[in-house]
Amino acid sequence: MTDTILKPDICVIGAGSGGLSVAAAAAAFGVSVVLVEKGRMGGDCLNYGCVPSKAMIAAGKRAAAMRGASAFGIADVEPKVDFKAVNRHVQDVIAAIAPNDSVERFTALGVHVIRAQARFTGPRTVVAGDTEIRARRFVVATGSSPMVPPIPGLDGVDFLTNETIFDLTRRPSRLIVIGGGPIGIELAQAHRRLGSEVTVVEALSALGKDDPEAAAPVLERLRGEGVVIRENTTVARVERRGKTGVRVFVETQDGAEPIDGSHLLVATGRAANVDGLGLDEAGIAHDKKGVKVDAKLRTTNRRVYAIGDVAGGLQFTHVAGYHAGLVIRALLFRLPARENRAILPRVTYTDPELAQVGMTEAEAIKSGGRIRILRWPYAENDRAQAERQTTGFIKLMADRRGRLLGVTIVGANAGEMINLWALILSKKLRLRDVAAYVPPYPTMSEIGKRAAITYFSGAARKPMVRRLIAVLRLFG
């Protein structure tokens, strides 16, 4: 039995990036909002994902720079890594950002925050603790959690996920990572740079969802730094080794073998958080991938929207924020808002970084028609040469009329450079527009314009163009 009944305009379930954005925006326009969160404010990104991982990657990057300083005439130094201090750095970064997502801040914004598990009891009601919420509209933004595969013996050993690995204050001496996707590869490189021996086990291809040409220099760099990457290798079972160690039995084309480690990280993907929400009672269709939504992010219950990871699409913080903006447009202003995944960028924050927006080369070719693939290497960029960051390239996919279809960048600062290309795609600009803009010199982003210009290089050899120039010369 509930003690309190609330009747807000909007009820948001989940205080991650997307949920917080909806709640803050609605409150800013004077709309009554109830925000329900059973765990930590800020969700996965702040506490277990983007923020701590990038803080650890930054620490690893500093260590790698010390080891490679001789390229600039400075003596190489093997850094003394204080892993406890690295952990403190990670926690300090979380603590610095946490006030932006705190209960106190959102209460001050006018949001009614309830710290409890939310559960639908019907199409129009949610119960959270001793409170019943009868909102006009609901937004489910419960995110996702690490997916743990059914590996024999896994339940009998201590293993880490992205939700627990940042609690370590002692450096893993031998880290085994199951999963060669972005999370596994990012954390593998960071830990290797901080002094751990690291082995990655991937059943298929590491970074297999990315353009293989772009993934290749990333994996080559990791292997060059000492990360062992075992592709096309399945995990048969795991068992405890000694008091704290772990032994992973793998199977390859050459047979079975054990891999011993001090710590085990499971990074095999993420599962949408739908359990315990009472979605069936609310008439909300869902499956293992998450809540089923239409292009407007509305569920099968027209009073309920779902955004971010739980909506079953791309699982990135910026996607959740994008979804939040679409839902606010629909809820507050009755404006048309449809998800366009073609404009959503994604980045793997390794060194070198790997960024993509729009179609990959394979997707562009599969789409049919005459496709132009335009490239420019970092090695032919003056800034990249000055900073010894010459690994990588940009690749533009365009149609025969110069309309941009997709962009892949692998190299230094790729995650920053992809911003411009996401804007270009969202505004449906053409390569002639890119060729017309003036980037400052020397910057690495010049590689994009250089690649775009190659689209027009063939025009200089066309007889008609040459005849036109000859005629124009007659006029002085």
Three-state DSSP at 344 gives: coil
- Find out whether 176 is annotated in a ligand binding site: no
Angle subtended at Cα 355 by Cα 350 and Cα 361, rounded to the nearest 5 degrees = 125
For residue 423, what are the contacts with CB-CB under 8 A and spacing of at least 6?
A: none
181 is in an annotated binding site: yes
- Please, what is the end-to-end C-alpha distance for the chain in angstroms? 91
- Check the annotation: does 321 bind a ligand: no
Separation between Cα atoms, residue 199 and residue 147, nearest integer Å: 20
202 is in an annotated binding site: yes
- Cβ neighbours of 254 (radius 10 Å): 7
Dist CA 252 CA 82 (whole Å): 36
Cβ pair 186, 210 in contact under 8 A:
no
Six-digit token string for 300: 């099968």
List Cβ neighbours of 324 (8 Å cut-off, separation of 6 or more). Answer: 17, 18, 19, 21, 22, 25, 141, 307, 308
261: annotated binding-site residue? Answer: no
Residue 339 annotated as binding? Answer: no
309 is in an annotated binding site: yes
- Known binding residue 416? Answer is no
Q: Is 369 annotated as a binding residue?
A: no
Residue 142 is labelled as binding a ligand: yes
Establish whether 38 is an annotated binding residue: no
**Residues 417, 358: contact at Cβ < 8 Å?**
no
Helix (H, G, I), strand (E, B) or coil at 459: helix
Q: Are 196 and 175 in contact (CB under 8 A)?
A: yes
User: Annotated binding residue at 143?
Assistant: yes
Q: Look at strands 393-399 and 404-411 and give their pairing.
A: antiparallel
Greatest Cα-to-Cα distance within the chain, rounded to the nearest angstrom: 92
The one-letter code for the residue type at 342 is A
Is 184 within any annotated ligand binding site? yes
Burial class (CB in 10 A: 0-12, 13-18, 19+), 457: exposed
182 annotated to a ligand binding site: yes
180 known member of a binding site? yes
Residues of the binding site for NAD(+): 179-186, 202, 269
Residues of the binding site: 54, 142-144, 179-186, 202, 269, 309
Residues of the binding site for FAD: 54, 142-144, 309
